[in-house]
Structure 1
């Protein structure tokens, strides 16, 4: 079938092709268990933590898939344990007040994180601030 120019649809071959741009890539360093398959509210964000800056103590109301695009992230958890994750890695942050943590950028360059938040509803905050543990 031959189409005339006047009857071409939005899938016309002369229309511009969609453009996909990689924002960041990473290797999964942890299991992705804990990501709900039935999530209905998802938010994607980019966070830039300045040199020697901090996220402040907080927890998430749903699990968060985090990709470290640039820099190094040092996590400290309420139990005093820490872990360090470098650029090109991704992991899942668990949710709930029992998983309070702080993210610190120990370097003299910005830390860039991309995160996918799996939220229980449309009004859920991305993070809930909490005081630092004693």
Structure 2
């Protein structure tokens, strides 16, 4: 999984040489959570979007899912990642890669429990025209 995520991010970087920057859209979540589109391209019926996501200390993305697969690289900080059963499915430190599968059955949240910003470089592989994420209700459980 980590090798495929690394390959996807490297591939996105290579594709990025010919991409056009686009407008940023907000990421659901706490104050200061932001996203900036670095590059995007549509091939057939698939959108490839490379974004930089910043999560300040003590903030989270909000519960959500994606209509396509995401591949992320942790550029700075440590991301704590939880699934809909409120169990940790990974703690990702600087230099780590993670993959988020698509679909409403993969609701998750990312939190910054550290003292510095978490900065992610994320490749979104989405059906053409799909939003970056779909908000999901809190599963109503306590995060560890």
Q: TM-score, structure 1 length as denominator?
A: 0.70
Larger-gyration structure (1/2)? 1
Q: Which runs of 5+ in 2 are unaligned?
A: 9-43
CA 1:65–1:40: 2 relative to 1, 3 Å: same
Q: TM-score, structure 2 length as denominator?
A: 0.66
How many residue pairs match? The answer is: 102
- Root-mean-square deviation (CA), in Å? 1.8
Q: Which runs of 5+ in 1 are unaligned?
A: 1-27
* Higher helix content, 1 or 2: 2
Task: Tell me if 1:126 matches 2:135.
Answer: no
CA 1:31–1:39: 2 relative to 1, 3 Å: farther
C-alpha deviations, 1:72-108, integer Å up to 9, x for none?
A: 0001110222021111011211110110000000011
Q: Which residue of 2 aligns with 1:110?
A: 117
* Higher strand content, 1 or 2: 2
Higher relative contact order (CA 8 A, sep 6+): 1
**SS of the counterpart of 2:53?**
strand
Structure 1 residue 31 displacement after superposition:
4.9
